[in-house]
Each structure stands twice: as C-alpha cells, then as structure tokens.
Structure 1
Amino acid sequence: MRKRIAIIGGGIVGSTAAYYLSQMPNADERDVVMFDDSYGQATKAASGIISPWLSKRRNKQWYNLAKAGAKLIPEIANATHMNSEIFDHCGTIITRENESNLDELYLFAKERTQVTPEMGKIQKLDRKAVQSQIPILTNPKSGVLVSGGSRINGALFCQHLISIAKKNNLTVHDGRARLINDHTISFKEQSFEFDRIIVATGAWVKETMQPLNVKVHVRPQKGQLVELKVPDFPTHENMPVMMPEGEYDFIPLGHGKLIVGATHDDNKEFDLSKEASVDNQLIDSAQNLVSGLTPTDIILSKVGTRAYTNDFAPFFGIVPNHDNVLIGSGLGSSGLTTGPMIGKLLAGSAIFGGHPDWKMYEKPISNYIS
C-alpha cells in the first residue's frame, strides 16, 4: 500500500525533508506532496555562513545539532552536485579587535578540531594576511581562519533539492494550506488525506497548528540583508566569508558582489517592507571594513521572518497527542545550519514511525508546544 506524506512549508526544513523522502528506501512506494506558501519565508531571503564550531552558546543540544548540520550540508552538496553559487566550501574568518581575545579564540578553535575534523585547518591571521584572503577589505582586522567553513544560498539550496525530489515522488502545490485534522489538509477548497504530515512553516507555525488546538510558543523576528556592488578581483573569486566582531556577517560572492547582514528586529515581526534606514545601517557596518560604499552600490535588498523560541533553541519531532503530525520550527538565525539536519530526521520519522530519541539534539518538545 502506497504511503502518502504531506509537507507544509518549502523552506530549509521542508525542502530537505522532501529530498530525503525521495532518496530513502522504497521512495517509489510513497507519494509526497508539498504545500508551499513562500511569503516571508526566512530561507528564501537568506544567504548565510555555515561555521558553528566557535559559538560560545551553552546549549549543548543546539551545538550538537549545528555541528551535525555543518557536517551534513557538504555531504548533500556533494551528493547532489551543487554548484558554488548554491554552496561553497570557502572557509570562514572570525575577527577579534583585541590580540589576547584573538589568541583565546585560536586556542579554542585548535582544541575543538581535535574532536571535529570537519573544521579543517585553523590559522591565525594578522590584518595583512586577512586582506590577502579578502582583497576587497580596506580596513581588515586580525582573525582566525577555519578552512572548513562555508557559505550557502538558502533559496537556491531549497530549489535544488526540491527539483531533485520532483523527479522521484514529490508534487508541489504553491499556496497556503490549512490543517483540518491529523490526516487532512485543505487547499484551495479541496481536501487531501495523508498518512503523515510534516509542518515546517517557520514563524507562521502558530497559525498552522491552531486548527488542532495546539499552541506553539514561537515569536517572529524580521531580518533584512543587502547585496552590494564592490570592486572585483578576478584572481580572488572564491574568498572566505567573514564573521567580523561587532559587525554584520560579511559574505563575498566574488565577481564584484558582497552580501552584508542580516539584521535582527524583534519589533517588526511579520513586516516584510524593505527599509532604507536598515539598508543604510548595513552599509554603515560594511563601510567599517570597505571604505567608499554608498546606497548607490545596493544591488538588491531582501527581507524574511525568522521563528524564535524563548530560549533561542529549535524544536522538532512528533506533536504531543498527534502521532501522525511532525513539526520543526524555532530555528532562529542558525536555520541554514540546523535546518537540513532537522529535515532529514523528520523525513526518517515520517517513514519509519515510532518515537525516536533526539535528546542529544534538542530539549523536550513539550517545552515549546502545549
């Protein structure tokens, strides 16, 4: 008997789940249907850095999840033949203003490489060495290079995985779907029945789960980033990304393009308007590293809405008292790193059932759902 699985949401979690549902054993014996209303979706507005290893977060479950995600994403990229526009193993530079803080960061990185080989090679770089790696910088800072770091384009990553899944067993419906019960989804005045349903609607998950009388404790956060025109260095099209101390993420794309951001605005919630004042804020940050940038250098500006929990940790798994509904949300600003691992785990659970033990990756799901 064929198994029918639904995915509500085509962002980083939903698209990765769809990919694995098309690749895991007996894929030809199941039908997967995705309902994707991409309005405000965080992933489609995101370009990010995959380099979680030097985070000082005390949440060990989050670190285990992020570390697993940072290992999984290059595996997906390699298996699916992603090009460098989607994913690039370019390395990450983390800067520090104070020399003693830089030494502390370097020693911390060297220590973590002992148990995390995917971090790659660790180097301490002075200002001149950083500039040689990223020549668009006019005011470089000293930093630590982690060669295993990467950059990722969220929208292209999702599109790539969905296109692969569609060749196997995935059907995609564009638009907003509504849960009726544990097995039924309403879409454009039609009802669809499924064996399992994966809910991956990010900041909109509270609204998605309302028909089941399930309360999800997440809050929305607006994020905005800019892509800027910068000098092109043809011999350095594959520059490391940078996490500069006190500034927004700095993501050179090569070919005279640079992404800066994204911001974190808790007050604007679902407001998806592009704000010129925020663009200027991002440019001011970039100017501390690259002199001469102005608003005329903006190529485009993107806005999305992230989902956050009160303790900044993601949650995922089977919805309590609803064994056929799975959920993943609360990814916050690390969604591009943690989302693929969550999608893979949810896909496996949707196929094989049961109540898997994921406590090494997350706190009890009941902390976030009532």
Structure 2
Amino acid sequence: MTQSIAIIGGGIVGSTAAYYLSEFNKNNDLDITVFDHGCGQATKAAAGIISPWLSKRRNKSWYELAKDGATLLNSIADKTNMPEDIYNQCGTIITRNNLEDITELYDLAIERSKDTETIGEIYKLTPDEIKRHIPIINSNLPGLLVTGGARIKGDKYTDHLLKIAKSNGVSVINKEISINENVNVVCDRKEMQFDKIILATGAWTKNVLSNLPLDVDIRPQKGQLIELSINDINLSHEDMPVLMPEGESDFIPLGNGRLIVGASHENDKDFDLNPDADVIDELLNSATSLLPSLSAENLIRVKIGTRAYTSDFSPFFGKIPGYEKILVGSGLGSSGLTTGPLVGKILAEMAIDNLSMDIEKYRKPIENYIKLVK
C-alpha cells in the first residue's frame, strides 16, 4: 500500500527529509511531495559555519543535536558527492583577546573530541600563524584552529538534495500552501489529503498551523549578511578557513574572490526582508576591521532570511500533540545549518515509523513548544 507524505518547506530540514525519504523509497511505496514557497527562507539566504564543538551553551540536548548534526552533514556531503562550493571542511579559526581564553577553549575542544571524530585536529595559533592560514586579514589576536570545521551555502545545499530527491521520484511544487481544519493541505484552493505531513516551515510554523487550535512558541528573527568581492586583493591561496572573531561578525572566505560577513540578529523586524542600512554598515565595519582595504564598493549583494526561535532558544521536533499525522521541526535559530540535517533525517524516519536512533537525547518535550488550546 502506498503511503503519501507531504513535506512543507524546502529548506535545510525539508530538503534533507525529502532526500532521505527518496532514499528509503526502494520499493516505490512512498508518494512524496515537497511544497516549497521559499520566500524569506532562512536556509536560502544563509552561508554559515559548521563548528558547534566550542559552544558554551548549557543546553545539553542542543549540543548533542548540533554535534551529531555536524557529523551527519559531513556524511551527507560525502555520500552525495557534494561539491566544495556547497560544503567545504576548510577548518574554523576562533580568536579571543587573551591566551587564557584560548587555553580554556582548547581544553574544552580536547574534552569534546573524545566523543566525535568530526571535530578533527585542534591547534593553538599565534597571530602570525593565523595570518598564514588567512593571509588577507589584519588581526593581532591569538586563536584556535579546529580542522573539522566547515563552511556551507544553504541555498546550494537545498538545491543539491532536492535534485537528488526529484531524480528518485519526489515531486516539488513551488507554491504557498496552508493546512486547514481537516488537517489537509490546501494549494491553489485545492484540498489535498496526505497520510503524513512533515512541517519544515521554520519561522512560519505558527502561521501554517493557524487553522488548528494550537499554541505555538515561535518567533521570527531577521538575519542579514553581506557578500563582498575581494578579487582586487592579492590572495596567496583561495582555500582559507572560516573565522569566528571575538566581538565581530563571522568571516567566511568562499574562494573565487568572494567573502561572506554576517549574519546579524534582529528580533523586532517580524518578517521584513528589506535591508537595513545601519545593519549593513555594521557588517561592513566588521569586515574592514579585519580587512582594511575593503569598502562599500566591494559590496556585491545583501542576503536576508528569517530564522525561527523559541522562547528558551531550543529547537523542537516530533509529532504535534493531538495531530500525530503532522511531524514538525522548528526553532533551530542561527544553528539551523548544523542541526537542520539531523532534524530532517529524524522526521523522515518518523514518517515511515522506522527510527534508527535515540531521539530523546536531542530534545525537550515538544509540548513545551506546541500545546493544544482547550
């Protein structure tokens, strides 16, 4: 008997879920449809750093999700022959103002390396050693290199996985949908019934569920980043690590004479996708603090997306209470590129009742974030 599954949202979670479901569909007993409107999607606007191991967040479930998400992402990249302009394990350099902080981070990295190989090698770096790794920057701070760190381009990641999914028979419909009171998908005023619905709509999750009596703890956060041309700078090599400098925006050399700086975090902008001049100026100032020869003339484009956050900054995923045919994953925040692939795989496995892992170590109760309104 064929099982019909709808995936609402084609970002980091939805595209990964589509990829895995298409891989699971060896007997052609799954009918999979992705609905991907895409407007404002955080993933499509994001270029980010995969390096969760030095986080000092005290949320243990988040760290487990991020740590294993980084490992899974590396595996997906390898298995799908993902090009380096999408995912590149180029290493991550973290700088701090003093050696004591670097020693503390080093000890943390060594401890956490005991239960993950993906972190790679860990090295303390002098300012001169950092400059040898990233010769374009001007910085006098010590740092730490984690060789397993990576950079990723969200839009190209989703395109890559959805292309594979489509080649395996998944349908993709680029239209906006809603879920009605009958728990059916409505697209172009046509009601469509599915056995399972995977809801991967990020900051729009509350909106999509608005026809159901649910209280959803989600708020949107605006993120802006800038892409700069560095073609006029004498590069000794292109394949540089990404940099997470203290007190400044992330610094992501992409190769091919391109540099990403960002991203910002604005909590009071709702779903606004217009660039803010003051934020762009701050990002440019952050870039020029490390690379003084840059100016506004190097600006190629601004990319803007909307992240999803919960009130305690924790992601959530699982079956929606009272509506167990709907599986949801949201609230990933600024770590979505790291945690999203694992959430997508989990939801894909849950949709076919074939979980391969202990998911409770990754999450708090979903009822903390989605409740039935009585």
**Structure 2 partner of 1:132:** 132
**Alpha carbons of 1:318 and 1:233: their partners in 2 closer, same or farther (altered >3 Å)?**
farther
**Alpha carbons of 1:233 and 1:362: their partners in 2 closer, same or farther (altered >3 Å)?**
farther
Instruction: State how far apart, in whole Å, the 2-side matches of 1:27 and 1:47 are.
Output: 36
Post-superposition offset of 1:210? 1.2
**Structure 2 partner of 1:326:** 327
Contact 2:90 2:239 in 1 (8 A): yes
**Structure 1 partner of 2:305:** 304
Letter in 1 for 2:132: S
**Deviation readout 1:200-258 (Å, 9 max, x if unpaired):** 11101001111122221111000100011124555421100011111111100122211
**Structure 1 partner of 2:218:** 218
Aligned residues: 370
Instruction: State how far apart, in whole Å, the 2-side matches of 1:222 and 1:354 are.
Output: 33
Letter in 2 for 1:280: D
**Deviation readout 1:30-77 (Å, 9 max, x if unpaired):** 110111111110000000000000100000000000001000001101
2:211 aligned counterpart, secondary structure: helix
1:245 aligned counterpart, secondary structure: coil
Contact 1:183 1:195 in 2 (8 A): no
2:268 aligned counterpart, secondary structure: coil
Instruction: State how far apart, in whole Å, the 2-side matches of 1:110 and 1:355 are.
Output: 29
Post-superposition offset of 1:138? 2.1
Contact 1:119 1:148 in 2 (8 A): yes
The RMSD of aligned alpha carbons is 1.6
Letter in 2 for 1:170: V
Contact 1:242 1:250 in 2 (8 A): yes
Letter in 2 for 1:132: R
Letter in 2 for 1:341: L
Contact 2:135 2:236 in 1 (8 A): no
Letter in 1 for 2:339: T
Matched, 1:195 2:195: yes
Post-superposition offset of 1:365? 0.3
Mapping of 1:92-241 within 5 angstroms?
Answer: 92-181=92-181, 183-230=183-230, 231-232=232-233, 235-241=236-242
* Deviation larger for 332-341 or 209-218: 209-218
Instruction: State how far apart, in whole Å, the 2-side matches of 1:118 and 1:307 are.
Output: 27
Letter in 1 for 2:205: V
Post-superposition offset of 1:356? 8.4
Contact 1:331 1:338 in 2 (8 A): yes
**Alpha carbons of 1:174 and 1:52: their partners in 2 closer, same or farther (altered >3 Å)?**
same
**Alpha carbons of 1:251 and 1:27: their partners in 2 closer, same or farther (altered >3 Å)?**
farther
Post-superposition offset of 1:113? 1.4
Post-superposition offset of 1:183? 4.9
Instruction: State how far apart, in whole Å, the 1-side matches of 2:172 and 2:184 are.
Output: 17
1:210 aligned counterpart, secondary structure: coil
Mapping of 1:238-317 within 5 angstroms?
Answer: 238-317=239-318
* Deviation larger for 66-75 or 212-221: 212-221
Post-superposition offset of 1:2? 0.9
Post-superposition offset of 1:193? 1.3
2:290 aligned counterpart, secondary structure: coil
Unaligned runs of 5+ in 2: none
2:269 aligned counterpart, secondary structure: coil
Q: TM-score, normalised by structure 2?
A: 0.96
Letter in 2 for 1:342: V
**Alpha carbons of 1:72 and 1:27: their partners in 2 closer, same or farther (altered >3 Å)?**
farther
Q: TM-score, normalised by structure 1?
A: 0.97
Instruction: State how far apart, in whole Å, the 2-side matches of 1:307 and 1:314 are.
Output: 9
**Alpha carbons of 1:27 and 1:207: their partners in 2 closer, same or farther (altered >3 Å)?**
farther
**Structure 2 partner of 1:367:** 368
Mapping of 1:29-44 within 5 angstroms?
Answer: 29-44=29-44
**Alpha carbons of 1:198 and 1:182: their partners in 2 closer, same or farther (altered >3 Å)?**
farther
2:53 aligned counterpart, secondary structure: coil
Letter in 1 for 2:127: R
* Deviation larger for 131-140 or 198-207: 131-140
Unaligned runs of 5+ in 1: none
Contact 1:218 1:308 in 2 (8 A): yes
Percent identity of equivalent pairs? 51
Instruction: State how far apart, in whole Å, the 1-side matches of 2:328 and 2:142 are.
Output: 42
Instruction: State how far apart, in whole Å, the 2-side matches of 1:274 and 1:194 are.
Output: 38
Letter in 2 for 1:96: R
**Structure 2 partner of 1:350:** 351
Letter in 2 for 1:177: I
Contact 1:21 1:27 in 2 (8 A): no
Letter in 1 for 2:175: G
Instruction: State how far apart, in whole Å, the 2-side matches of 1:140 and 1:352 are.
Output: 53
**Structure 2 partner of 1:2:** 2
**Alpha carbons of 1:254 and 1:140: their partners in 2 closer, same or farther (altered >3 Å)?**
farther
Instruction: State how far apart, in whole Å, the 2-side matches of 1:117 and 1:23 are.
Output: 25
2:205 aligned counterpart, secondary structure: helix
Instruction: State how far apart, in whole Å, the 2-side matches of 1:62 and 1:81 are.
Output: 28
